Chains A and B, each alone.
Chain A
Amino acid sequence: MTGEFVAFFILSLLTIGGAVFMISFTRVVHMVISLGITFISIAGLFVLVGAEFVGVAQVLVYSGAISILMLFGIMLTKHDAYDEGTGRKWKNRFILLFVALVFALLFWGIQNTAWPASPPPAASGVSNAKEIGLVVFTEYVIPFELVSVLLLVALIGAIIMAKKEGDNE
């Protein structure tokens, strides 16, 4: 019972719990809150694995920006009292079945794969952020630039999509 295991256990519990609650809450704002908890727990998992930079980025991007964006989306749109429509119940159960099947399949796949027990990489002397920085700006610099272009395009696209129609410039 190592500390790592305990931490992992708690964090994964929080993660899964948050996700399940998200699904089962009725009011949208509650859903967003539980999702936020999930995001943070995932960040914790990242740190546990030793990817601190990614963990921080996770907190910043997901629980910081994306959750807020969702809240904005919720606030800007009207949400009716949440009731299941007719005929939905059977569809939902059907999908549940499917998803369970998917789960079972992949679970079995994971269990039956012989994961090679390779030793974790030797801890390099540098911090995780520096490590990432070293690789990104040498090997992956082009995808990095492309991603920035992507973000620009997304920005402009979002502005145009959400613009009110009929506005004369």
Chain B
Amino acid sequence: MDTLLHYAWLIPLFPLLAFIVIVSFGRQLKEGASLVGIVLTAVSFGIAALIFWERFQGGAADYKFVVDWLQVGDIVINMGYEVNQLNAMMLVIVTLVSLLVQIYSRGYMHGDDRFPVFYQYLALFTFSMLGLVISPNLLQVYIFWELVGVCSFLLVGYYFFKPEAKAAAKKAFIVTRVGDLGLFIGICLLFWWTGSFEYDQIFESVALGRLEPWMVTLAAILIFVGAVGKSGQFPLHTWLPDAMEGPTPVSALIHAATMVAAGVYLVAATYPVFIASETALTVVAYVGGFTAIFAASIGLTQRDIKRVLAYSTVSQLGYMMMALGVAGAAGYVAGSFHLMTHAFFKALLFLGAGSVIHAVHTQDVFEMGGLWKKMPITALTFLIGCLAIAGIFPFAGFWSKEAILGAVYGAHRYDLLVLALVAAFFTAFYMFRLYFLTFTGEARGKHEAHESPSVMTGPLLVLAFLAIVAGFVNTPYAPLLTDWLLASPTGDTIASVFGEGSEHAAAWLQVLALAISFLGILLAYLMYGRKSIPADSIPETLPWLYRLSYRKYYVDELYHYVFVRPLGWLGVFLNAFDKYIIDGLVGLTAKITQGIGALHARVQSGQMQSYGAMVLFGLLLLIVAISLTAQGGGFFGFGH
């Protein structure tokens, strides 16, 4: 059944086809564009699922297919696709979430003027993300990486008539660009040192030790910089919360489940390079860990429902990076596993939030409340999502989180473990704060809310189901995913460096994590559910702490003063330079020419006598010249 893998290239092509069709016929199709998108994405999902199933059955070798694309001297650059364990999983995740989001958007974006445009962008994004995932070499990854960034820009700026949306789109693009620069340099360096962009060749070079240790570290860190940008890790996290200006389905698809996962995916896909460098792994782990707690602490105080979820995403991505960074088979598996479960429950949470926003027309949690009765399906699915993210047994989040904690503990990184546990506490707290404020209590909102249409609640239910069961693919009692993921060349590399087997969290760690999560939920319940503890207790006693968290630690302001302002001045200076010096030079040349012309024009005075004088002068010169140079001594008798 190897033949099905040969058709993996079709998977990105169906969304591309959707894009082309919607671009061409969008105006006629209007809301029909959603059907085009949904159907074609469903086909992609079907193929992806089949491929995944095939690989999961085991035994299917990694498949790679490339064609020669460019030839530069001796070096040949390829284009193609490959399918391996990690890929196959990602393909399913991306197509499934994209499909669900597109179905959901049919309801959410109903009535929007630019409905087909939205689906165009979604289709293009799906194509780019799928292309990224099946790329066999870094150059192709970079191409799709950039494409994904463009789609993010387009989608965040979808409501382009809002200045905040425009600014957010620009910010998203520029901040990720900083990361992309690092990635690009890393790719170039790797190409320079190993002579190829292909994954397998690079891994081989690294494994054979052809690169110096500092080279490997540098390349790995640069690749990680790209991941930091795309996945919104500190310090390039500032774009993600602002990107919530885009429509909620966009936030669900891109900024929760897929694009931000691209960073994690990249680190996982180039894991053999990271393994070869202790330093790089440490950097990854600590950046991830710090981000996890940093973002969680900001999420504690935010009022906008989407922003809380955005910071939660940043925090969870930090978890994934931390897991990958602590290395070992456990870390690799845990990171990838959490990637999968997170995609599902975060998408679920975002879509649920979208449903709420759609109903109450506000995003401020303090204006919501009591929606449990009015939107039961949304409330229930949201609750499931919250439980999953808080890591409550037996939801998906529990299994993936405990895998991460186990990996961190197993690698003896106790400092990171503490960070992770605190972040877990925060996560549980703010998620349930959100839940209680939104769905329980009295209705503080002004709008009459009602449940969303089934086209929106349907995907919610599907994702809720996945949020419940997805975790069971990798429990300590049946580590199916672990075995499967590690049965790849990457797994072999990991095994060769770190030894066989993976470790799951010890039972006591599982219980501890669970207890901490429950504590968080309890605190949230007390503060916001039952209101026994006043919510203002911390803001009253430690206002500065509250303000730090609420104002996102002033990171945005810092960037503004350190980077944006000076760049603005540079722009002004360069503009003045251009206007006065360069244009001035050009103008000066023109003026000089004009001046010389004017000077000469004065000769044309119209005065006959001047003309006569000039004729005379010329004649004189002529006579003198002839007399001096004529043969035979000149007619003035030189040759006497």
Contacts and interface: CB of A to CB of B under 8 A. Distances in A.
A109 interface: yes
B616 A98 contact: yes
Contacts, number: 24
Interface in A96-119: 98-99, 101-102, 105, 108-109, 112-114
B208 interface: no
B617 A98 contact: yes
Contacts of B623: 105
Given A101-B620, A105-B623, A112 B613 contact: no
Among B624, B635, B636, find the residue whose CB has the most chain A CB atoms closer than 10 A: B636
Contacts of A112: 636-637, 640
A109 B620 CA distance: 13
B637 A113 contact: yes
A68 interface: no
A113 B636 CA distance: 7
A95 interface: yes
Contacts of A105: 620, 623-624
A1 to B, nearest CB: 30
B620 to A, nearest CB: 6
Interface string B608-640: 000001001100100110010000000111001
B637 A95 contact: no
B637 A114 contact: yes
A108 B637 CA distance: 10
Interface residues of B: mostly helix, strand, loop or mixed? helix
Contacts of A98: 613, 616-617, 620
B612 to A, nearest CB: 9
Nearest to A95: B613
Nearest to A105: B623
Contacts of B640: 112
B564 to A, nearest CB: 63
B620 A102 contact: yes
B633 to A, nearest CB: 11
Interface string B442-456: 000000000000000
B636 A109 contact: yes
Contact of B616 (A102, A109, A113): A102
A99 B627 CA distance: 18
Contacts of B637: 112-114
A55 B637 CA distance: 33
A96 to B, nearest CB: 11
Contacts of A102: 616, 620
Contacts of A114: 637
Nearest to A106: B623
Nearest to B640: A112
Contacts of B627: 109
Contacts of B624: 105
Interface in B466-512: none
A113 B627 CA distance: 13
A95 B624 CA distance: 18
Contacts of A108: 636
A112 B635 CA distance: 9
Nearest to B610: A91
24 contacts: A94-B613, A95-B613, A98-B613, A98-B616, A98-B617, A98-B620, A99-B616, A101-B620, A102-B616, A102-B620, A105-B620, A105-B623, A105-B624, A108-B636, A109-B627, A109-B635, A109-B636, A112-B636, A112-B637, A112-B640, A113-B635, A113-B636, A113-B637, A114-B637
